[in-house]
Structures are given as structure tokens and as C-alpha cells.
Amino acid sequence: MEQMCATPVASKKKTTVMESVKDHSDLVHKLLSTLASKLPANAAHATGNSLRLWRAWLSAEKAGDAKAKEAAEDLLEQGRRWHEVLAGEVAAQDRLRLSDYVAAADSVTGKLRETAWQVARRFWVGCSSRSPSSAAASISLLRTPRALSASASPA
């Protein structure tokens, strides 16, 4: 992992951050999976997820030279953070911010809303045979606050 993070900064040859992450990430994921029980709680999982996010971001990013230099320095800093978590110097959950909790809650509510819509659609036939207006009223309760405010505002 250290080699993956330091290569783009220290390398004499022109190795990009993406090349370094691509070359090393599969091996790092295998090692994290193998060593997960020997590492501090949640360290392997948190580090693996973070590495996946880095790889996805770098794959999507079409950066120029200035952005690539900045990404190399950012990866080196991220490597230090991964080291702290894997060495047990900092607990993985200590790195979480309030925005991380809010994003997790938002994701859960989105999944719940999606599930509620699926259930409502599945049973729509049974509800509509009784009273279409009561079924529509029940479905409207599943709308998000954004959808309610959008439908209330003039077009």
C-alpha cells in the first residue's frame, strides 16, 4: 500500500496516480481481506472501501497535469491516513464526520422510500379496486419533501 501511494510522487519514471492505483489495488484488496481478522476492528473494511472510491474517482477523472500532481500529493496523504487506521493509531470510526452520518441516513431513507414504492405498486391493484382516491392518498404520503414542495410550487 505504501508503494502504491508513494510511487507517483517519488518515481523517476512518469507513473500516474491512476496507473499506481490500478497496478496495486487488487493486491492490496487481497491482503486486506486476508489480514482483516488481524487488523483493528473495521480497519480493513474502511480502507478497502476508501481504496475502491479512489479507484472509481480516478477512473472517472480526466485530469490534466496540474490535477494529476495534486492527486499524487492527495494519494500520499491518504496513504498516511490508511496507515494510521491499519496500524491502530486511529480508529476507523474516528475519521467519520457528521456529513458521513447524514449521507448514510439519506441513503437508508432512499432505500426505504424505494421499497415502499415497490410495495405500493405491487398492491396498487388491490387498493384501486376499493377506492382509487384512498389509494392515491396513501401513495402521496410516500412522496419526498422535495417532491411535495415541487408539486406545490407553480410551474
User: Environment class of residue 47 by beta-carbon count within 10 Å: exposed (0-12), middle (13-18) or buried (19+)?
Assistant: buried
What does the pLDDT read at residue 115? 92
Other CB atoms within 10 Å distance of the CB of residue 90: 15
Chunked in runs of 10, what are the mean pLDDT values of the chain (155 residues)?
Answer: 63 67 83 88 87 81 59 82 86 79 90 90 64 54 52 49
What does the pLDDT read at residue 111? 93
What does the pLDDT read at residue 155? 44
Other CB atoms within 10 Å distance of the CB of residue 43: 22
Residue corresponding to grid cell 422535495: 146
Check residue 93 and report its DSSP letter.
G
User: H or E element: which one contains 45?
Assistant: helix 43-60
What does the pLDDT read at residue 114? 92
Domain layout of the chain by residue ranges = 2-95, 98-152
User: H or E element: which one contains 77?
Assistant: helix 65-87
Cα-Cα-Cα-Cα dihedral of 86, 89, 93, 99, to 10°?
A: -100
Residue corresponding to grid cell 388491490: 126
What does the pLDDT read at residue 106? 92
